[in-house]
Homo-oligomer: A and B are copies of this chain.
Amino acid sequence: MPHTSNRGNEMPESPIRKLVPYAEIANNKGRVVYHLNIGQPDIETPQVAIDALRIIDRKVIEYSHSAGGIGYRTGLAEYYNKLNFNVTTDNILVTTGGSEALLFAFYSCMNEGDEVIIPEPFYANYNGFSKTAGVKVVPVTSNIDNGFALPPIADFEKLITPKTKAILICNPGNPTGYLYSKEELETLRDIVKKHDLYLISDEVYREFCYDGKTHHSVFNLTGIENNSIVIDSVSKRYSMCGARIGAFLTKNKELLAVALKYAQARLSPPTMGQIAGEAALNTPQSYFDNVINEYVNRRDVLIEGLNSIEGVKCPNPGGAFYAVAELPVDNAEKFCQWLLEEFEYNNQTVMLAPAAGFYATKGLGEKEVRLAYVLNVDSLKKAIECLRHALNVYEGSTIKNKVLV
């Protein structure tokens, strides 16, 4: 029997999905599991997008252009230009989700063995994409105590080597929900300009900014037009993760030409996803107003609830729909598994994502979890009560004043 590849063996398992077998155990016991572990929103897809599929009248579901259909790219350029991106259709490659856009960025910017600096904790699949592309992730650590703000410029600079080719950020961030300020982005601009690096900005949560804060894109910065890449996706914006439609944006023509070759090799992004994505561009503002209102309510319930539990620490995120919380436990992964395998409170339990998998530095995040507030307020309240009870009965809990329940 031939061996599987070393690189395949070394591919990290998704920390978000690796507890799935334990969730099945809980399901098999008939327990209600509140899924706060995965970024699959329960928010409805805009009706305009679904309607566009329902009236498909094509005879042949053909490939699109490898860069995406020109009609869709034209609509996308308009959408981006309302955000002052100053792009044309030639700056846009439509991709199979943000995932593929990231892979295109890694392949096009970096050789095997090159390094990308990423503030940690970061979206765990960045590890998988880096491994796939043979690129080394160099983490710069952000801290729960200042809400996961951008680490100081000196922390970045001491990590830059001749192998460093790019800095990758997620803004607003998955898993922290942190929204970078204009000043933080300007700091990043100065670093990439000084060291001639790429700045890859994953902005798939762009629409989800709260408390009157505004999103600042790397495409709103001047002077680094040839350094900047935006990773985008319709998955979260329109709650249509299954469409698998994203985008790779750059004003660097040489870079786009290289990325296009990767796009041509895989022929075309999904045609039906593009039909839905193009229609979704006409989603009324009221949809976003409602969604953001809903997420703010959920966030408030979740963050307040979490911080009301003794020993739990959770900063208030400015965007996206995630939060990272520190729990009073010996080990978050062990706790998360126990929640599914053994715990129940009124026949309910909670599924969380252990945060260690969102760090590249070994040993960090071992008491932290990521929570996605993709459930309604009522379910969130129940999930918090579950968690409160769990932390009181869990053997490895470090809560001092346990109340036996």
Contact = CB atoms under 8 A, between A and B. Distances in A.
Interface of A: 1-2, 4-9, 11-14, 17, 40-45, 49-50, 53-56, 58-64, 66, 96-97, 99-100, 107-112, 114, 125, 128-129, 132, 134, 165-166, 196-198, 226-227, 239-244, 252, 254-255, 258-259, 261-262, 264-273, 276
A227 B1 contact: yes
Given A2-B196, A41-B60, A265-B11, A107 B132 contact: yes
A61 B265 contact: no
Given A108-B5, A112-B134, A262 B128 contact: yes
Listed from nearest, the 9 A-B pairs whose CB atoms lie closest are: A242-B271, A128-B265, A8-B258, A272-B272, A61-B240, A11-B261, A99-B266, A1-B226, A244-B270
A364 to B, nearest CB: 21
A308 B259 CA distance: 42
A9 B9 CA distance: 28
A271 B258 contact: no
B261 A243 contact: no
Given A270-B244, A272-B242, A56 B53 contact: yes
Given A11-B265, A63-B241, A244-B268, 17 more contacts: A1-B254, A2-B165, A2-B196, A2-B197, A4-B254, A4-B255, A4-B258, A11-B107, A11-B262, A40-B62, A44-B60, A53-B56, A53-B272, A61-B241, A61-B242, A99-B266, A125-B266
